[in-house]
Structure 1
Amino acid sequence: MKRNSSDRMITHARTAAMALVALLLVVAGFWTSWDDAQHVLLSKGREHGTLRIESCDEEVCTGPYTPTGTAGARDEVTIERSVAVRKGETLTVVLRPGTGEAVRTGPAGGLFAWLPLGGALLLAALVIGGGMRLTRAAWVSAGVGGALLVAAFLAL
């Protein structure tokens, strides 16, 4: 049976809509990741040091900060609470400019910052494979997102 032009138009419209959804997912994941990743990747000129975790509540952990450069020590700096942050642990961190908020550095911190992008790539893989019928591209997206999540898990 021959497909008419309206069937092709609907197919192309569906593919375009799914491409937009997949793009939106990846851009949102990148944007969310970039909030922390910029401090890890572009850390030149920022305040570096170590943070010893003394207490944690539901959302953040706090502790004294010791700088590696000429900046002054701080009694209380906060870091986002995660499964990788434990009381008594000492972390290498970089401070967000103008705040008392720390972001973990090094390979573990870099991978942890990109976790939202990894999740977005996994979600986009479902849209790419199911909505756009591009199975190879979906497997690539899922593979990269899954590898990022596994690498972050192992690094932390």
Structure 2
Amino acid sequence: MTQFTQRARAIALRTARHAALAGALLASAVTAMAQATSPVGTWQTIDDHTGQPKALVQISQDGSGELSGKIIKGLNPNDQADRRCTACTDARKDQPMLGMTIINSMQKDGDAWDHGQILDPENGKIYKCKMHLEDGGNKLVVRGYIGVALLGRSQTWIRQQ
């Protein structure tokens, strides 16, 4: 192999490595931008009473653009893995909380998402829901309410990577 061929091969390898690195950085930047503008992803919820992490909720988007969210993991070691929604009054009655869809029909409304519902599996109540992102997409403020948004409560969920 000639010295020229060896140099050409070395340059080609460096170029390929740089291209792969650039592709990875671009993919990371695109992911970060998408996270900053969409609640799609995994979120850690916080218990209102204890202030401790409670569960992980996976929010996804369907083909029509609506968001839904389901519980994918409980984080409280004192909770039983097979806990059921005994207080639910709809089709989720006595169903396992793990894997349960608790957010549905959320639609983009400007910089927020609205017009959906959220279930509190602790008391079985279903509330109207609206949400918006804060802190560069790392926090999701979720508000459940009855009637008007002033009559409700908000929780701030933390994005998980």
Instruction: Check whether TM > 0.5.
Output: no
Question: Larger helix proportion, structure 1 or 2?
Answer: 1
Question: Larger strand proportion, structure 1 or 2?
Answer: 2
| Max Rg structure | 2
Normalised to the residue count of structure 1, the TM-score between the two structures is: 0.31
Greater relative contact order structure (CA < 8 Å, 6+ sep):
1
Normalised to the residue count of structure 2, the TM-score between the two structures is: 0.30
